Amino acid sequence: MKQLVDLTTWNRREHFAFFSAFEEPFFGLVADVNVAHAFARAKELGVPFFQVYLHAALQAVNSVEALRYRIEDGQVYCYDQIHASPTLARPDHTFSFAFVPFAQSLTEFGLSLQAEIDSVEQSTGLRLNANASRLDVIHFSAIPWLRFTGLTHARAFAHPDSVPKISVGRYRREGEALLMPVAVNVHHGLADGYHVGLFFSAFQQALDAV
């Protein structure tokens, strides 16, 4: 479900019009989150760490209204619920786009995630199906081979895009903390640094509450 945002009364109408005219309306921020608790809980529960932090990221995205805005035919809609569109790797080091519906239950979410992982491993190519073009998602990728402090995305500027892009990198130990870099790229007409800050706060809370 989604609701049309009334642009005539929206307090971001000028921001939306201004940044929507840019060739590149996205901006990005990178910050660390502490995943020590979530990593330990994943081991205790016997579930993949990827499942735990992807689920926590979705919980955080769904708690921030600005990250549920999407642009369709020049109009802005707010989706009731956002799902995951992660890139999933295969043993041959190719990857595929995927779709995993959000579920409040970590266990239920994990079942859908594993089914999608299995499907990707039995396929080839990018799987450019209907789910690959959904707007009620976040584009999510994991880059566990290295720690990054900045990140850009391949984008076709002629193609209208308003889907937030979240990427995580290799974690590192600092004292009692286990720090993981997280890059968030969003359309500036829909969200500002304040809203990305809300996401990071909610993400950390979700990681600590597993």
List active site positions: 188
Residue 164: helix, strand or coil by DSSP? coil
Query: Which amino acid is residue 100, in one-letter code?
Result: V
Cβ neighbours for 145, distance < 8 A, ≥ 6 positions apart = 170
Q: In this structure, how many other beta carbons lie within 10 angstroms of the beta carbon of residue 27?
A: 16
Tokens of 72: 């369709």
Strands 137-143 and 83-89: parallel
Q: How far apart are CA 86 and CA 167, in angstroms?
A: 9
Cβ neighbours for 55, distance < 8 A, ≥ 6 positions apart = 106, 109, 110, 206
